[in-house]
Amino acid sequence: MEERDFLHQPVLLEEVLAWLNPKSGGTYVDCTVGGGGHSAAILESSGPDGRLIGLDQDPHALEAAARRLASYGKRVTLVRENFIHLPRVLAELGIPAVNGILFDLGVSSPQLDVPERGFSYLHEGPLDMRMDPSLHRTAADLINNLGEKELAGIIARYGEERWAKKIASFIVRKRQHQPIKTTSQLVEVIKEAIPAKSRRSGPHPARRTFQALRIAVNRELEILPEALRQAVDLLLPEGRILVITFHSLEDRIVKNVFRQLASPCVCPPRFPRCVCGQKPLLRVLTPRGVLPSEREVNLNPRARSARLRVAEKSGPVLNATGGE
């Protein structure tokens, strides 16, 4: 994979910079560095001495980001790691807390556009879908080894696919004759399973199933709530956490975690005042989320489903000696 494969327009870039408000001397984390688009803008805005820690589990993305961000020298530290391990990464770097953290969730455009990664139902390729190539389980493993009920559950839960049971049934029937190893093979099975009337309207018939398999392979939703809570713990007071989501399942998790951390009181409604002592950790700054402009969607149609949520860490700002 070449560097140009990861040179894509980062989504909601202007909005990210406005809400993150990077400043010189600050330390920021891009938990999904990708090709470095957001990271480059954060570094540019936090010059001359803002620092950025970039994480990504995709080695191809990190290689591209390293080239793109090379001119920023020691201001950049790139680490091949899943964002669930952010606390360990920062501890090993000797960084106790940071000023801002960005998550840009889901699969990136370059990953979708490379057939051999197997993410896209529009390109012929192996059924892989691993963001981290060192993971043992591929989408083909799930398709060919899971039981029909478990497979249907994944497609229904992570893809919100109304035809999940039928698709799973057709998959199991097909694999009895030969393994399903490629994206095109799976697309054909899905098309056979979904009634023609339902295929004629709406998005591509395979979109929801492919989304579900990708989420399951990479454990995307499974690790997200804990990753968000850990990130909040690593913010300095008045530091900000920004999360870009691309479908309702991700967005619902982010919204609920932010809401819980902003209103942690567990006292019964009949209590006249809070006695549980749970103090808010966050202040939600974008209750409804921020959507891309019409101009951005016209320039980059894949931005259409993006939504940005922002929250700010509660508490007093500490000076360099730890005082208020």
- Model confidence at 201: pLDDT above 90: no
State the pLDDT at residue 190: 97
Token pair listed for 81: 């790691």
Q: Between these two residues, 196 and 274, which has the higher pLDDT value?
A: 196
If you count DSSP H runs as helices and E runs as strands, how many of each does the chain have, helices first?
Answer: 14, 7
Mean pLDDT of 164-170: 98
Q: Is 3 helix (H, G, I), strand (E, B) or coil?
A: helix
Binned at pLDDT 50, 70 and 90, residue 278 comes out as: confident
Sign of CA dihedral 186, 187, 191, 194: positive
Give the rounded distance of the alpha carbon of 154 from its chain centre: 18
Binned at pLDDT 50, 70 and 90, residue 318 comes out as: very low
Binned at pLDDT 50, 70 and 90, residue 315 comes out as: confident
Is the preceding peptide bond at 264 cis, omega within 30 degrees of 0? Answer: no
- Model confidence at 227: pLDDT above 90: yes
CB contact burial 86-99 (16+ within 10 A = b; e otherwise) = beebbeeeeeeebb
| pLDDT 10s digits, 95-133 | 999 999 999 998 877 778 788 899 999 999 999 999 999
Q: Which amino acid is at 266?
A: V
Q: Which amino acid is at 60?
A: H
- Model confidence at 2: pLDDT above 70: no
Domains in the chain, please, with CATH?
3-110+220-313 (3.40.50.150), 117-218 (1.10.150.170)
Average pLDDT across the chain, whole number: 92
Mean pLDDT of 252-279: 83
Binned at pLDDT 50, 70 and 90, residue 9 comes out as: confident
Q: What whole-number distance in Å separates Cα of residue 188 and Cα of residue 257?
A: 38
- Model confidence at 73: pLDDT above 50: yes
State the pLDDT at residue 316: 62
Q: Which residues contact 71 (CB under 8 A, 6 or more apart)?
A: none
Binned at pLDDT 50, 70 and 90, residue 302 comes out as: confident
Helical ranges in 180-219 per DSSP H: 183-193, 196-199, 207-218
Binned at pLDDT 50, 70 and 90, residue 203 comes out as: confident
Name which of 109, 154, 83 is nearest 246 in CA terms. 109
| pLDDT 10s digits, 32-70 | 999 999 999 999 999 999 999 999 999 999 999 999 999
Mean pLDDT of 179-198: 95
User: DSSP characters for 31-94?
Assistant: TT-TTSHHHHHHHHHTTTT-EEEEEES-HHHHHHHHHHTGGGGGGEEEEE--GGGHHHHHHHTT
Say if residues 245 and 186 touch (Cβ distance below 8 Å). Answer: no
State the pLDDT at residue 6: 54
| pLDDT 10s digits, 148-161 | 999 999 999 999 99
Token pair listed for 40: 């480059």
